[in-house]
């Protein structure tokens, strides 16, 4: 271990995250922690391929995993045609994500299953507040000029402050892709740190927009910098890039989360987002998290799906499960 690593480790080794809401305080910028990273594309893809090998997961376990997945969804609407009534419907679904008759058939009628959060644009925070009244479901707002982030930093910080003041307790920020492309890591660190400060007590999820980052090595470095600057979660995508969450890119990010935890004691969460619409995909991600980070990451405080349509497919698959019409294609979720 390098001297710097030793120093950081000694400074933070007594820290344990007692509650899910304990924050990542970040660490001072130190490029020596990541400058020699070179993530080999084929090795990453080989490793990811092992996760999509054919495995049989018992049907009842699949059902339990799907319920777990539901509790980890940031139920999202980020469309140009969002309206108050869409958002209110979304909130009703977040509070009762699975039909009662399905839960009854599963013997889970009294289980309090809700989604991890709802995720909306700033203008709909007030509607989400109304829709979620009486529940503890957090409101996540996308901020900082989502999705491209190409507005001055001062305005991005103002947006964060306004969203927090309006009632968002989770803020999804976007990184400046040009800083990542130019490898200007110190400026990226300063920007993400400023966003973190603007978030106050709100949890901050930092979106890397990996579909616009050309190499896995840069994805790993951007992940390091975002965590060092105090991100509580790192998130793959806005859902608006041409390529959104993929298993190989997730593997790279998850491994940096593991290394950062080993170094500092802080547990940073992970949020794959964009294009995750099938129950089968959700199980692949849960398995990835379980294998790479362990069971303690398998909860909504450290893992979320950013998804607008995933819940619908999970509900359909659970209906098939209770009616015995489980689709053949679903029997092997890892295939
Ligand atoms: O962060 C969430 C994404 O914008 C949702 O993407 P999706 O509509 O492809 O599920």
Q: What is the pLDDT of residue 328?
A: 44
Q: Is 116's C-beta closer than 6 angstroms to any atom of ligand 1? A: no
Q: What is the pLDDT of residue 122?
A: 98
Q: Which residues of the chain have pLDDT under 50?
A: 1, 6, 10-20, 328-335
Q: What is the pLDDT of residue 51?
A: 66
Phi and psi (nearest 5°) for 270?
Answer: -130, 135
Find the helix or strand (DSSP H, E) in which 155 lies: helix 153-166
Is CATH 3.20.20.70 correct for 28-52+59-330?
Answer: yes
pLDDT digits (tens, 9 = 90+) for 96-111: 999 999 999 988 888 8
Question: Do the Cβ atoms of 250 and 292 come closer than 8 Å?
Answer: no
Q: Is 78's C-beta closer than 6 angstroms to any atom of ligand 1? A: yes
Q: What is the pLDDT of residue 40?
A: 81
ipTM of the complex, rounded to two decimals: 0.97
* List 93, 218, 221, 271, catalytic entry: 271
Q: Is 48 left (phi over 0), alpha (psi -120 to 50) or beta?
A: alpha
Phi and psi (nearest 5°) for 162?
Answer: -65, -40
Dist. CA 234–CA 226, nearest whole Å: 7
Question: Do the Cβ atoms of 69 and 283 come closer than 8 Å?
Answer: yes
Q: Is 275's C-beta closer than 6 angstroms to any atom of ligand 1? A: yes
Block residue for tokens 């130190």: 30
| Domain edges within the chain | 28-52+59-330
Dist. CA 266–CA 249, nearest whole Å: 21
Dist. CA 43–CA 47, nearest whole Å: 6
């Amino acid at each position: 271990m390098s001297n710097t690593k030793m120093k950081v480790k000694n400074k933070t080794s007594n820290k344990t995250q007692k509650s899910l809401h304990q924050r990542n305080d970040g660490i001072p910028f130190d490029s020596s922690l990541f400058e020699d990273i070179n993530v080999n594309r084929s090795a990453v893809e080989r490793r990811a391929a092992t996760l999509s090998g054919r495995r049989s997961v018992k049907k009842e376990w699949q059902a339990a995993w799907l319920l777990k997945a539901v509790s980890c969804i940031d139920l999202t609407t980020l469309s140009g045609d969002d309206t108050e009534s869409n958002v209110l419907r979304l909130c009703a679904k977040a509070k009762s994500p699975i039909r009662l008759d399905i839960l009854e058939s599963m013997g889970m009628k009294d289980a309090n299953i809700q989604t991890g959060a709802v995720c909306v644009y700033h203008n709909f925070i007030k509607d989400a507040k109304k829709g979620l009244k009486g529940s503890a479901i957090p409101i996540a707002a996308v901020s900082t000029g989502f999705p491209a982030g190409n507005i001055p930093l001062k305005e991005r910080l103002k947006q964060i402050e306004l969203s927090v003041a309006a009632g968002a307790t989770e803020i999804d920020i976007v990184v400046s892709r040009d800083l990542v492309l130019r490898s200007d890591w110190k400026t990226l660190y300063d920007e993400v740190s400023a966003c973190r400060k603007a978030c106050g007590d709100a949890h901050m999820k930092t979106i890397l927009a990996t579909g616009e980052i050309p190499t896995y090595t840069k994805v790993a470095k951007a992940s390091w910098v975002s965590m060092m600057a105090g991100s509580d979660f790192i998130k793959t995508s806005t859902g608006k890039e041409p390529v959104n969450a993929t298993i190989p890119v997730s593997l790279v990010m998850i491994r940096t989360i593991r290394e950062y935890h080993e170094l500092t004691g802080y547990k940073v969460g992970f949020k794959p987002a964009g294009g995750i619409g099938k129950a089968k995909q959700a199980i692949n991600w849960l398995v990835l998290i379980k294998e790479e980070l362990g069971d303690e990451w398998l909860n909504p405080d450290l893992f979320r799906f950013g998804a607008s349509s995933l819940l619908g497919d999970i509900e359909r698959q659970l209906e098939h499960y209770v009616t015995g019409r489980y689709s053949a294609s679903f029997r092997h979720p890892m295939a």
